[in-house]
Amino acid sequence: MIRAFLAIDLEPQVIEKICRSIDDLRERIPAVRWVPPTNLHLTVKFFGNVEEAQVEPIAAALREQLHLFPRFTINAKGLGVFPERGRPKILWVQDLESWRHCVFGHSVVNEVVLFQSVLKAEGAVYRRLKVISLGK
């Protein structure tokens, strides 16, 4: 079994701006384990545990459906946390008009990536399993 999710890679200039914001937070919140820039992505769908033999059928089904969708642009604005109550486990970038003061930029989305997530003591490690292109 592997932990799998579908995600979008962000463009380098967007990741750079997000990292600068994280650097500001890192100084104010030292007790947090921050993910490396290479692990920053936009999760589209978390599949959870799937059999390794299911990776290719999942990718084929995604390819069949996603080629119909045109390429698109996402705007990364603002920060949020999950869960909202108690001790947050995830800091995320959102796309909401109410967060205009914190704009990171945009990414043109040409493809989505099926990843494997391996949980280790030092944090998650992501392995690219399949790249699925969107339509033109």
Which structural domains are found in the chain, ordered by start?
2-133 (3.90.1140.10)
Q: What mean pLDDT comes out for the span 66-94?
A: 74
CA pair distance 81, 83, nearest whole angstrom? 6
pTM (predicted TM-score): 0.70
Q: Would the pLDDT of 42 be above 90?
A: no
* Torsion, Cα of 113, 119, 123, 126 (10° steps): -20
The CB density around residue 109, as the number of other CB atoms within 10 Å, is 19
Identify whether the C-beta of residue 6 lies closer than 8 Å to the C-beta of residue 44: yes
Q: Are 104 and 14 in contact (CB under 8 A)?
A: yes
Distances (CA, A) of 58 to 35, 41, 95, 134: 27, 20, 28, 15
Q: Are strands 103-109 and 111-120 parallel, antiparallel or unpaired?
A: unpaired
What's the confidence (pLDDT) of residue 104? Answer: 52
How is residue 64 written in tokens? 């069949």
Q: Output the CA torsion sign for 39, 103, 26, 89.
A: negative
Q: What does the mean pLDDT of the chain come to?
A: 79
Question: What pLDDT is attached to residue 103?
Answer: 46
